Amino acid sequence: MSFGERFAEACSRAVYPLCLGLDPRVDEMPALIRSRAVSAARGDGTAVRRAIAEFHELAVAAAVGLLPAVKLQMAFYEQYGIRGLEALGDTIAAARRNGLLVVVDGKRNDIDSTADAYARAFLGTTTALGSESRAFAADALTVNPYLGWDSLVPFARTAAASGTGIFLLVHTSNPSSVELQEAEGGELFLRAAEYVNRLSSEYFDDPLVTSVGAIVGCTFPEAARAARAAMPRAPIIVVGYGAQAGSADGCAACFTPQGDGALVNASRSLTYGWGQEPQSDEDLVEAIRSRITATGETIGSALASNV
């Protein structure tokens, strides 16, 4: 199956159109996770990896059956160096074991040869010393399209060959994004949307949902509506909801008229900010499930009023 087909199928099985964002902040994790990781590491330097892996294993368990995908923010893993990258592999493995799609949010790109290396690292395979392996077995990778067409081709080729997908940054959620992305009378981000459609038609053969999607911020609802209209078959990951104060109505603008085709990403609002510390793994799983349910119901209500 293509990534577009797997995305559509996973969304149809899920209760809520949400994506669980996993952005590891070790010192903000519940005390039970941190203390257990330090104790198990016994000074061998693996405490950070253990904390991230264990916390995300429980977060993934909480998400199973409720939502279809996780989005792993690379910067939050990379800040912890090699141990963080090892934990990235642990998290990917946990999500895949539990049947969740894995989107690695690295916003990668460069000249075509470097883009090809990024694509092989996250979407394809790498051959070295006579053997072939997958470095980070993601289902999809976020890509910056603002380097132009030639930088995107290696990602599309690798994704098409491996049954994976890519999400181009079309309109991001940060406040000053409009300074560039809405330049030229608002046309620049729509050029990125055109890349989504062109890559889909030239490198993939997806009959319904495409394997090339978009990242769109719900913090700019009018731009979100324009982006969705320009990419009617593309899957969209909606960013900016929750801590960035994006609205549920802004999220709804990213969905198709039928109320599908998008996932709203939520990160800190689902996994951090504990007023009362969970006292057990079961408490933590239940707390995250409760937050997922509350967020999902809010988004569902917004979609129902917009369909």
Catalytic (active-site) positions:
107
Task: Calculate the alpha carbon distances from 277 to 59, 108, 185, 283 in Å.
Answer: 15, 36, 49, 9
Please list, in sequence order, all residues whose beta carbon lies within 8 angstroms of the beta carbon of residue 302, skipping any fewer than 6 positions away. Answer: 248, 249, 251, 252
Q: What are phi and psi of 13, to 5 degrees?
A: -85, -25
The CB density around residue 266, as the number of other CB atoms within 10 Å, is: 26
* Burial 59-72, CB ≥16 within 10 A → b, else e: bbbbbeebbbbbbb
Task: Calculate the alpha carbon distances from 52 to 15, 23, 63, 290, 292 in Å.
Answer: 26, 9, 16, 21, 20
Contact 136, 173 (CB under 8 A): no
Please, what is the Cα angle at 276 between 278 and 85, to 5 degrees?
A: 55
Torsional sign, CA 164, 169, 170, 174? positive
